[in-house]
Amino acid sequence: MLIYSLVTVTVLVIALVISMFKILREYERAVVFLLGRFYEVKGPGLVIIVPIVQQIVRVDLRTIVLDVPTQDLITRDNVSVKVNAVVYFRVVDPKMAIINVENYLEATSQLSQTTLRSVLGQHELDELLSEREELNRGLQGILDQHTDNWGIKIANVEIKHVDLDESMVRALARQAEAERSRRAKVIHATGELEASAKLQQAAIELNKAPNALQLRYLQTLTEIANERTSTIVFPLPINLIEKLSEVDGLANLIKSENNK
């Protein structure tokens, strides 16, 4: 019996001695409690703990990637959408992360979901689709403010997907098509305006040298003759056209005088 007792005591002593030594990795910290009260934060490396009297809680300081589940929300312009996101955060104060909140990972997840619904619900659909960078910064600032008391730093928030129903997708497609048609008409009208201004300048320059119009007329005939076309062109001198215009104007003048 004595031998069994000595063996049992020896095993217990060895187990207690072994349990005194804890090895923490570079990214881990140990929050130490002495008789239930906070004592200190230790690590990384070899940490010695008094068995029974002291307890430790390991905390990982690496960046944690939290996938926020898809949330159903209604935008400010009454459009129903489904949005999901991803949150990057890490623990910067192990003491606060263990003492101030029961489960900092679950708490951050729930806070991210509620913040995503409340913040994005205040914006219109166009803002969700085109201003993601600004919305990401806004979400990050709100989450970082709320988790500051938990010893957590929100590194980044990214909105991943904005899912719409089929009817809304078709409506957006029609809207985009109408916008492209509007831009095409505006560009065409702008081109017509610029062309008319250039034609006016060309008319002024041709009016300064009447022979230039004759040369332009002959050049046009040359271009038409080079093309494979069945069009028949009867060239007339520009001077003849001007004389006919003068005769027609004179005839109209005489007719108006006779009517009087």
Each residue's pLDDT tens digit, 92-101: 999 999 999 9
Residue type, position 206, single letter: L
Taking the C-alpha atoms of residue 68 and residue 143, their distance in angstroms, rounded to an integer, is 13
Selected residue with higher pLDDT from 109 and 209 = 109
Chain segment 127-146, per-residue pLDDT in tens? 888 888 999 999 999 999 99
Does the pLDDT value for residue 110 go beyond 70?
A: yes
Position 235 confidence tier, pLDDT thresholds 50, 70, 90: low
Position 246 confidence tier, pLDDT thresholds 50, 70, 90: low
pLDDT-above-90 percentage for the chain: 35
Cis peptide before 44 (omega within 30 of 0): yes
Does the pLDDT value for residue 122 go beyond 70?
A: yes
Does the pLDDT value for residue 255 go beyond 60?
A: no
Q: Is the pTM of this model over 0.85?
A: no
Taking the C-alpha atoms of residue 197 and residue 252, their distance in angstroms, rounded to an integer, is 32
Q: 22: which 2 tokens?
A: 């804890």
Q: 107: which 2 tokens?
A: 């708490």
Does the pLDDT value for residue 29 go beyond 90?
A: yes
Taking the C-alpha atoms of residue 4 and residue 158, their distance in angstroms, rounded to an integer, is 63
**Measured between alpha carbons, how far is residue 156 from residues 25, 43, 104, 125, 135 in Å?**
25, 27, 17, 22, 11
